[in-house]
Amino acid sequence: MTLLALDTSTAWASVALYDGRDVLAEETWHAQRRHGDELFPTIERLLAYARKSLADVDRVAVATGPGSFTGLRVAIAAAQGIARGAGASLVGISTLDVLAYPHAHSKQRTCALLPAGRTEWYAALYQERNRKWMRRSPFIVATLPDLCRQIGTHTLFVGEMDAEAEQLLRDLLGPKAIFAEPASRMRRAGYLAELGWRALEAAPQAKLGEIEPIYVKQPSIRSSFDQPFAPVPSGDAALGLPRRS
Amino acid sequence: MRILAIETSCDETGVAVVDDGRRIISNVVASQLAHQETGGIVPEVAAREHLRTLDAIAQTALRDAGIELRGVDAIAATVGPGLVGCLLVGANYGRGLALAAGLPFVGVNHLEGHVYANWLYEGEAAPPEPAIPAIVLVVSGAHSDLVLMEGHRRFRALGRTIDDAAGEAFDKVARLLGLGFPGGPLIEQAAKNGDPSAFPLPRGSGGDRYDFSFSGLKTAVMRLVRSLEAKGEVPVADVAASFQKAITEMLAEKTARAAAEHAVDTVLLGGGVAANLALREEIAKRIGHPLVVPPPRLCTDNGAMIGAAAFFVLRHRGTEIPTAVRSDLKLA
Ligand SMILES: [Zn+2]
């Protein structure tokens, strides 16, 4: 059995192959906005490294954000197509869960952060409880000062932070802000693969079309055709509140 | 050769199975209704809807065709032009399907799809193929292109719109008249009971070039409606009919001149605005060539036209088959 893990949640992308015990191959790269062009060549390269074909793949895990809506849809659409074509089962895993997962052993309260455009950030808090590593907050979209108001204790920050964001967190929280080493802050699809494998062991997969991004922000209006675009609908429906919070 | 083809460039989610680029085996199109409520297309909303529905629509298209994925020879999807977030959904789903099923993937230019919609048919008996070279007019909410088709997949641009697309002009006038969205069919319906010569509207010449410009006409309609409103009730049917007459004459004049000035066998239409009956009649009476127009449901965006174009991409490929999404692709 082989699992293919796909993550195009942000400017960073990652793909891995996993057999339930070991990561067979993995690639993580800075794709910026080129996910659409680079995802499939990367998948084919990893299959070649691992001497596998998609015929061997019977499980697919995909990162569902929160993150860049367009970026997320690249991997989710690809994952739906691959799962359909290969007859594989598909599972969606939150990108923030993937970020926090390798820090479970730290036993420290962990905050996973990803940029949400302008001054806002996507975040979720994780902590061990009853010996179980769990997400302890909903998916949040907030500025760093707003986020820090909800953080009372020492917290390990992981995710995509630039130097400016790191400094702001230090200013806001002082010694309570702890930072993982840059390389261990990043997302790797190997972790997504482990989480996805476990999720598929625990529960049957949903319908393919039900795997979609975790939309925690309103859609922004952007015109490519200069058509008469309407204002964004208001209300909870447009917010697409997270399904698993 | 059977091709499963996907179209998600704008607000229609379409999947079809097409045999040898011509015979429609199945053709499923889901129009996104959310945009009627907002009176226009919100790209993010459209992309969300494509992702939610595409897999189920693809399953329906296969079921309607009575085949499984194993019975397909290639997968095609629109890679441009269009809304990039929407294109990425269809293209990546299609590439995933193709890679997993061990099939070739063909990226298709949406505008070539509108041209090759003229090669499609349903049922057993194949009508003759349109004769080429041809003059092609592709008119929709996003495009107004006048093209010389010299041979299969050999296009030479003659003219295009320098401002609004023809379909946009329909949408804007429909909104001005309080008719709703999308404007094309609503204007056509309203115009049926109107007098096309009720109000004189400018045709704009644009000189002897083939480019179109609709902003002058749009402004004139806006002024007309404002002055009618000041006087009392707006005769919606008469305004709609006068506008439709003006815009179809503008499109027909350049199309007919292009057909007269080039040695072609046929005039072909494509795109949502080509479903307009008044446009077809206006062009037909001005040209000495046979006019070929797809049935209305193949003029608007659909998967079958992508399946037709994909077949001709495979048959007349130059070098590499395109796979990358390019939101600004052109016909020539
Ligand atoms: Zn179109």
Each residue's pLDDT tens digit, B2-47: 999 999 999 999 999 999 999 999 999 998 877 777 777 889 999 9
Distance CA B85, CA B105 (A): 19
Distance CA B248, CA A188 (A): 56
Cβ(B97)–Cβ(B39) under 8 Å?
Answer: no
Query: Ligand 1: distance of its center to the CA of B221 in Å?
Result: 25
Instruction: Retrieve residue A163's tokens.
Output: 């130097």
Structure confidence at residue A228 (pLDDT): 29
Going along chain A, which residue ranges are E strands? 2-7, 12-18, 23-30, 57-63, 89-93, 110-115, 120-129, 132-135, 140-143, 155-159, 177-179
Q: A56: which chain B residues are within 8 Å (Cβ-Cβ)?
A: none
> Which H helix or E strand runs over A183?
helix A182-185
Distance CA B326, CA B321 (A): 14
Cβ(B46)–Cβ(A219) under 8 Å?
Answer: no
What does the DSSP 8-state code read for residue B128? P
B326–chain A Cβ distance below 8 A for any pair? no
pTM for the predicted model, two decimal places: 0.92
The mean pLDDT value of chain A amounts to: 86
User: CA nearest A73 in B: which residue?
Assistant: B89
pLDDT digits (tens, 9 = 90+) for B175-233: 999 998 889 999 999 999 999 999 999 987 666 789 999 999 999 999 999 999 999 99
Interface of A with B in 20-39 (CB under 8 A): 36-37, 39
Structure confidence at residue B205 (pLDDT): 63
User: CA nearest B98 in A: which residue?
Assistant: A85
Residue closest to A71 by CA, chosen among A127, A115, A9: A9
Shortest Cα distance, chain B CAs vs residue A192, angstroms: 19
Q: How far apart are the first and last CA of chain B?
A: 27
Structure confidence at residue B26 (pLDDT): 98
CA dihedral of residues B110, B112, B118, B120 (deg, nearest 10): -70
Interface of B with A in 25-64 (CB under 8 A): 34-35, 37-45, 47-48, 51-56, 58-59
Query: Ligand 1: distance of its center to the CA of A28 in Å?
Result: 36
Residues A32-58 have a mean pLDDT of: 91
The residue type found at B114 is: H
Shortest Cα distance, chain A CAs vs residue B77, angstroms: 12
Judged by DSSP in three states, B209 sits in coil
Structure confidence at residue A206 (pLDDT): 76
Interface of A with B in 134-193 (CB under 8 A): none
- Report in angstroms the alpha-carbon separations of A232 from A116, B39, B44: 18, 11, 9
Asked if residue A227 has pLDDT above 70, the reply is no
Taking only Cα atoms into account, the Rg of chain A, rounded to an integer number of angstroms, comes to: 18
Its ipTM equals 0.93
* A85: nearest CB among B38, B97, B175: B97
User: CA nearest A54 in B: which residue?
Assistant: B100
Most A CBs within 10 A among B4, B55, B143, hence the mutation to make, goes to B55
Sign of dihedral through CA atoms B119, B120, B123, B124? positive
User: CA nearest B56 in A: which residue?
Assistant: A209
User: CA nearest B53 in A: which residue?
Assistant: A209
Cβ(B323)–Cβ(A40) under 8 Å?
Answer: yes
Shortest Cα distance, chain B CAs vs residue A143, angstroms: 23
Shortest Cα distance, chain B CAs vs residue A211, angstroms: 8
Judged by DSSP in three states, A91 sits in strand
Taking each continuous run of H as one helix and of E as one strand, the counts in chain A are 8, 11
The mean pLDDT value of chain B amounts to: 93
Judged by DSSP in three states, B161 sits in strand
Least confidently predicted of A120-129, A190-199, B322-331 = B322-331
Tally of CB atoms within 10 A around A108: 17
B325–chain A Cβ distance below 8 A for any pair? yes
Residues whose CB falls within 8 Å of the CB of residue A23, separated by 6 or more in sequence, listed in order: A16, A17, A190, A193
User: CA nearest A75 in B: which residue?
Assistant: B92
Structure confidence at residue B319 (pLDDT): 64
Half-sphere exposure (Cβ direction) of B219: Cα atoms closer than 13 Å: 8
Structure confidence at residue A231 (pLDDT): 30
- Give how far the C-alpha of residue A165 lies from the chain's centroid of Cα atoms, to the nearest Å: 19
Instruction: Retrieve residue A81's tokens.
Output: 């197509």
Query: Ligand 1: distance of its center to the CA of B241 in Å?
Result: 24
Structure confidence at residue A237 (pLDDT): 30
Alpha helices in chain B (DSSP H): 34-38, 43-65, 84-101, 110-116, 166-176, 183-191, 215-231, 236-261, 277-286, 296-299, 303-315
Structure confidence at residue A205 (pLDDT): 74
Q: Do B100 and A57 touch (CB under 8 A)?
A: yes
A43–chain B Cβ distance below 8 A for any pair? yes
Residue closest to B294 by CA, chosen among B320, B268, B315: B268
Residues B70-78 have a mean pLDDT of: 97
Shortest Cα distance, chain A CAs vs residue B110, angstroms: 14
Cβ(A136)–Cβ(A125) under 8 Å?
Answer: yes
